[in-house]
Amino acid sequence: MKRIRGIILLFLFIGLMINYADKSVSGYASIAIMKEFKLSAPQWGVVGSSFFWLFSLAAIVGGALSDKIGSKKMLTILLLAWTVLQLGAFAITGLTGLILYRILLGMFEGPSAPAMYSHVSKWFPKEQQGRALSILNIGAQIGAFLYAPIVVHLIHNFGWRFSFASFGVFSLLWVLFWIPFGKDKPVETKKPNLNISIQPKLKSSEIVKLVFSRNSIPSILALFACFWYVVWLLVWMPQYLVKVIHLSSQQMGYSVLSIGLCSMIISYAICTYSDILYKKSGDSRKSRVNLSIITMLSAGAMLTSILFIHSTVWVIVTIAFASGFVNVFLALGPQLLMSFSPERSGLMASLGTSFMNSAGIIGPIVTGYLIQSAGKGNVEMGHNYFIFSIIALLVVASILLLVFVHPDERVIKMAQENDQGINIV
């Protein structure tokens, strides 16, 4: 079983790596694309935003569909779609085609993370899920950051369309190995810790109850706040490093690589510590929620410093540490949401990721207009305005988690009600 779990996790790791590479490759190509199509900052913001226009809806629908048909089939369909779309990058000739391509890619990437999170919940016991999800998160960070020097090299030597298409080839190879070797769920599954009755059909009233619970709303808002920063990293950070920090394209690529490595180490170490705390105490509040609050406030504090300290080295170090801290909740948040309703794990994960990714609809456009409003000679000020918004969101989200989220209280209540013979939905 342990060996099969390792194989499954490796597949999901590589799949999420491809997913985030697809998301971020346009950011590395932004200067080249904007120059070729003569795009303004707000227009590029629309391009960055378009990826997420159908992402959230697709995540919810795909998450529910994944629960129905199985996450193995769902992931196979999704990565085949990525292959077709990425290879189709050679057909892009203008802004309209670029936006259409990004919309479709976002639609087929939306359900992937919920399906993968649900797959982890099938294969790993609760006390190991934090570490497993943090490993997946490392895959996301490799895709988003560690490929940067290679992507920059491909763009410089072969053009941005070739770099897009290269990830389509990776997606196809993944599918060819996943079909024979991937497994949907263990042959023998252990009974859950709580005797929770599973309802075959989901009513709209159930969705409302799940979404608007005291635990769910702050958790979903916290995911939004964290991804608000990640969206800036994916869409605008490469330009920030080149135009504000004044790095060359090659220096930018290696700086992003360093940021990714540091971020991976930090997030994995903290998520591993979270699992150790949970294993010792069984306390989700202490091991998941409180730890997330500390890391989010730390990210906000570090980002505040770059508004005043303009050293190139310090800016890169700060972005790296803040990324690592924010990625802790991006790994633990979906796990928290799934624990609120284990029998609807796919739906809960998709609700979190879909609302989280709505930050991708708003953030790039807001950044583009802030940069334009600051004036051509003051791009730094436009970015600083957006960084301040990141700080504010992280602080507010941390306060909401501190005040409202007490996941263990719900678990105790569920256990008591089940002892009395009450079915929990």
Per-residue pLDDT tens for 135-170? Answer: 887 888 788 888 899 999 999 999 999 999 999 999
**Between these two residues, 389 and 350, which has the higher pLDDT value?**
389
**By percentage, how much of the chain surpasses pLDDT 90?**
58
* Contact between 153 and 254 (Cβ < 8 Å): no
For residue 424, pLDDT beyond 60? no
Give dist(CA 302, CA 318) in Å, integer: 6
- The answer to whether the Cα torsion of 134, 139, 141, 142 is positive or negative is positive
**CB atoms closer than 10 angstroms to residue 195:** 13
- Mean pLDDT across 392-417: 78
Per-residue confidence (pLDDT) for residue 321, from 0 to 100: 97
**Between these two residues, 413 and 268, which has the higher pLDDT value?**
268
**CB atoms closer than 10 angstroms to residue 51:** 28
- The answer to whether the Cα torsion of 137, 125, 120, 223 is positive or negative is negative
CA atoms within 13 A on the CB side of 196: 21
Per-residue confidence (pLDDT) for residue 196, from 0 to 100: 40
Per-residue confidence (pLDDT) for residue 359, from 0 to 100: 92
Helix or strand or coil: residue 159? coil
Per-residue confidence (pLDDT) for residue 188, from 0 to 100: 54
Per-residue confidence (pLDDT) for residue 206, from 0 to 100: 67
* Contact between 266 and 114 (Cβ < 8 Å): no
Which pLDDT band, with edges at 50, 70 and 90, does 417 fall under? very low
For residue 187, pLDDT beyond 70? no
Q: Say which range, 29-43, 57-71, 249-263, 353-367, has the weakest mean pLDDT.
A: 57-71
Per-residue confidence (pLDDT) for residue 418, from 0 to 100: 46
Per-residue confidence (pLDDT) for residue 191, from 0 to 100: 46
**CB atoms closer than 10 angstroms to residue 120:** 25
Q: Tokens representing 300? A: 């906000």
- Sequence-distant (6+) residues with CB within 8 A of 148 are 28, 238, 252, 253, 254, 256, 257, 260
Q: Say which range, 131-145, 282-296, 326-340, has the weakest mean pLDDT.
A: 131-145
In order of 14, 122, 129, 327, the CA distances from 9 in angstroms are 9, 12, 11, 18
- pLDDT tens by residue, 330-371: 888 988 888 887 777 767 777 787 788 789 999 999 999 999
Per-residue confidence (pLDDT) for residue 425, from 0 to 100: 32
**By percentage, how much of the chain surpasses pLDDT 70?**
90
Average pLDDT score, the chain: 86
Q: Say which range, 235-244, 261-270, 338-347, has the weakest mean pLDDT.
A: 338-347
Going along the chain from its start, the domains and CATH numbers come out as 2-182+202-419 (1.20.1250.20)
Per-residue confidence (pLDDT) for residue 410, from 0 to 100: 53
Which pLDDT band, with edges at 50, 70 and 90, does 197 fall under? very low
- Mean pLDDT across 183-191: 62
- Sequence-distant (6+) residues with CB within 8 A of 163 are 25, 28, 29, 151, 154, 155
Per-residue confidence (pLDDT) for residue 375, from 0 to 100: 84
- Mean pLDDT across 319-326: 96
- pLDDT tens by residue, 85-115: 999 999 999 999 999 999 999 999 988 887 8
- Mean pLDDT across 266-290: 90
Residue with tokens 């999704």: 78
**CB atoms closer than 10 angstroms to residue 109:** 27
The model carries a pTM of: 0.81
- The answer to whether the Cα torsion of 355, 359, 365, 366 is positive or negative is positive
Helices (H), 203-344: 204-211, 216-235, 237-239, 249-281, 284, 291-305, 312-340
Per-residue confidence (pLDDT) for residue 74, from 0 to 100: 92
- Sequence-distant (6+) residues with CB within 8 A of 263 are 141, 145, 320, 321, 323, 324, 327
Per-residue confidence (pLDDT) for residue 12, from 0 to 100: 93
For residue 307, pLDDT beyond 80? yes
